Amino acid sequence: MKSAEQKGDPQMTAIRRAIDLRLKARMRDEAAARAAAAHPDEDVINAYVEGWLEESKAESFTSHLVSCASCLHMTAQLIRFDPEMEEAASPSADLDQGPLQRFFDRLASGVLPSMDEDAVFAYQDKRESTDKSEKTESDPNPSEPETNKM
Amino acid sequence: MNDDNTRRRTVLETDSLKNLGSCTAQLRDSHAQCAQSYPNFDVPFEEFRDAVAAAATKYLIGLAEPNAQPSPAELERFIGELKIPDLYLGLACMRGNEHAWWEFDRQHRSFIERWTRHLLRGDADADEVIDAVYVELFGTRVVDGIRQSKFRTYTGRGSLRGWLRAIILHAAVDVHRAPKVEVSIDDWSEGGDDFPVRHVSGGETEDTMLTSVVRERYRSATVAALDQALATLDDHETLLLLYYHVEGLKLREIARIVEEPKSPIRRWFQRRSSKRSRVHESTVMRWLDKVYRKVHERFHAELAGKHGLKPEEIEICKAIAAEDPAQTINISPVTGSVLKKEEIRSEGAS
């Protein structure tokens, strides 16, 4: 069965576009509102993504996700993680010195950042920029579902 | 090397779990297996037991009702699901055991570097984040005599590697002091119902002013109806939309998490589907399609019912919502003028 979009239903195209714009605007507002709010820790977030939360806790976290841009983004990043990368990162057996030694060596050489200093870094996720530009090149509508291209 | 200043928790969670005693044999067996695998880690049984108790308290207490205690069977299952070797390694690292740190590096250092570089796509920045992660894992702050190693927060409920991914994500954000949400604000720049009041210049005609007032009315109705329609969705349906539209997850990425046997989204989907077939991109697309239709129907009903709009007015609202540049919106029945979509877009962004 073809989707409404594949059939070229302008009503569905319009509502999809409307949903896309509205959700982005809402999550931007949520991000600002929740900037200082309490969030579940990494242990809970990972347990959710890996599917280890008890059902009632998972439901509760899902409710949090739909209104918390920060945690939504965190879980999306974890979902986006490529399992092939994990396979490539096999344990290395050729460590020549202990990790604590290396840690303290770096600390002694002043490489580690001070925990008390504020620092500002310019940050751009080049991968996302690349993704977006590729998407734009192949598809003028950034919210077009992939099946449209099939 | 043990660190006497490092203790997992000041309050023993063991005391708050009445049925943990029934699992002592299981705990001793798990601990013995770990100690056999890693004889140099030197994690006392009591500390191991307390860590498991803390995990159970965090994840099992209050599931059915507030402060409800997990049964012996629930505890047994829970302990059986824990990533015990990962937890044991984390506990030993938290204690500052050098053998454990060596093992941690052997198992995870390469992964930490790869994941960080994958996230940042910039080696210089990645080194900064990797160092910050190690600082956090080791713990340089001491509070009340306890070194605040990040391993204190790892419970073994999920994999250590998955937990590390989340730690690195947070560290990357902290290091760069950047907001985590990179939402496009090209369109619909004013969220919520607080759309800006359009300033009318002295040169504008009465018709234009009237058009502006009418447009604002439609715009307000559009936002309210769309929000109401979205509010009727199940949280999982909303999450699906958010992952796809806001986070830009691909259909295959969404499909992959649904394929995970214990995924919360999978549990939700299975309750709504009689089929147990594999989830492909097309399956996810069908779910999305279903949600779009649901929102569309509700949106329509809201505009017609609550806002009392006629079909042609609803079409105007749809055009406003979608901001389709190719569409011309004619609101002449009300104002006698014709607006092009580009005009609305430029004013909406002001």
CB A30 within 8 A of CB B242: no
Sign of CA dihedral A35, A41, A44, A49: positive
- CB A89 to CB B111 under 8 A? yes
In A10-82, alpha helices (H): 10-33, 42-49, 55-65, 69-80
Q: Which of B307, B316, B313 is nearest to B341 (CA)?
A: B316
Tokens of B83: 């990533």
Better-predicted residue by pLDDT, B305 or A121: B305
CA–CA separation, B159 vs A43, rounded Å?
A: 9
**Across the interface, do A45 and B120 touch by the CB < 8 Å criterion?**
no
Whether the CB of A65 is below 8 Å from some CB of chain B: the reply is yes
Residue type, A76: A
More confidently predicted of B5 and B350: B5
Residues of A whose CB is below 8 A from B128: 113, 121
Contacts of A10 by beta carbon, 8 Å cutoff, 6+ apart: none
Q: What is the CA radius of gyration of chain A?
A: 21
Which amino acid belongs to residue B313? E
Provide the β-strand partners of residue A127: none
A108 contacts in chain B (CB < 8 Å)? none
Per-residue burial over B156-179, b = 16 or more CB atoms within 10 Å of its CB, e = otherwise: bbbbbbbbbbbbbbbbbbebbebb
H helix or E strand, kind and range, residue B81: helix B72-81
Q: For residue B262, give the nearest of A25, A52, A91 by CB distance.
A: A52
- Tokens encoding B138: 């080791």
Q: Lowest-pLDDT range, B86-100, B156-170, B178-192, B221-235? A: B178-192
Q: What is the pLDDT of residue A130?
A: 47
Interface A:B, Cβ pairs < 8 A: 296
Question: B160 or A60: whose pLDDT is higher?
Answer: B160
Residue A139 Cα, gap to closest chain B Cα (Å):
14
Contact B295 A113 (CB under 8 A): no
pLDDT (0 to 100) of residue A33: 63
**Is the pLDDT score of B341 beyond 90?**
no
Question: How far apart are alpha carbons B323 and B341 in whole angstroms?
Answer: 7
Q: Say whether B158 and A12 touch across the interface (CB within 8 A).
A: no
Select the more confidently predicted residue: A82 or B297: B297
Give A112 to chain B, closest Cα distance, Å.
Answer: 6
Backbone angles phi, psi at A89, to 5 degrees: -90, 65
Interchain contact A27–B (C-beta under 8 A): yes
Q: Looking at residue B175, what is its pLDDT?
A: 76
Most confident of A100-109, B169-178, B195-204, B275-284: B169-178
Q: In whole angstroms, give the CA distance from residue B56 to residue B100.
A: 24
User: Which helix or strand (DSSP H or E) is residue B328 part of?
Assistant: strand B328-330
pLDDT for res A17: 86
Does residue B103 have a pLDDT over 50? Answer: yes
Question: What is the nearest CA distance from A137 to chain B, expressed in angstroms?
Answer: 16
Contact A100 B98 (CB under 8 A): yes
The whole-number pLDDT of residue A119 equals 39
Question: Which of B131, B162, B249 has its CB closest to that of A112?
Answer: B131
* pLDDT at site A97: 46
Q: CB–CB of B87/B49 below 8 Å? A: no
Q: Which residue from A minimizes the CA distance to B111? A: A89
In B236-285, DSSP assigns E strands to: none
Facing residue for B175 by CB, picked from A28, A111, A121:
A121
Q: How many residues belong to chain A?
A: 150
For residue B230, give how far its alpha carbon lies from the nearest alpha carbon of chain A (Å).
8
Element (H, E) at B147: strand B146-147
Determine the residue of chain A that is closest to B130 in CA distance.
Answer: A112
Q: What is the pLDDT of residue B238?
A: 92
Q: What is the pLDDT of residues B24-80, one digit of tens each?
A: 999 999 999 999 999 999 999 999 999 999 999 999 986 667 777 889 999 999 999
Which residues, listed in sequence order, are joined to residue B110 by a DSSP beta bridge?
none
Q: Write down the pLDDT at residue A89.
A: 54
Given a contact cutoff of 8 angstroms between Cβ atoms, the answer to whether A64 and A40 are in contact is: yes
Q: Is A99 on the interface with B (CB under 8 A)?
A: yes
Biggest alpha carbon–alpha carbon distance for chain B: 86
Q: What is the pLDDT of residue B48?
A: 96
Count Cβ atoms below 10 Å from residue B210 Cβ, excluding itself. Answer: 15
Residue B124's pLDDT is what?
A: 63
Strands, E assignment, chain B: 142-143, 146-147, 328-330, 338-340
Angle, CA B255 vertex, CA B275 and CA A75 arms, to 5°: 130
- Chain B contacts of A141, Cβ < 8 Å? none
Q: Give bridge partners of residue B142 from the DSSP assignment.
A: B147
Residue B286: predicted pLDDT: 83
B12 Cβ partners below 8 Å, 6+ apart? B50, B53
- Which chain A residues are closer than 8 Å to B264 by Cβ? 48, 51, 53, 55, 58-59, 61-62
Distance from CA of A19 to the nearest CA of B (A): 8
- The closest CB to that of A24, out of B106, B120, B184, belongs to B184
Rounded to two decimals, what is the model's pTM?
0.66
Of A68-72, A113-117, B201-205, the one with minimum mean pLDDT is A113-117
The yes-or-no verdict on residue B191 having pLDDT over 70 is no
* Residues of chain A with C-beta less than 8 angstroms from the C-beta of B167: 42
Question: Mind listing the pLDDT tens digit for each residue in B249-291?
Answer: 888 888 777 776 666 666 666 666 555 556 677 778 888 888 9
To the nearest whole number, what is the mean pLDDT of chain A? 64
User: Where residue A28 falls among pLDDT bands split at 50, 70, 90?
Assistant: confident
Compute the nearest-CA separation of A102 from chain B (Å): 11
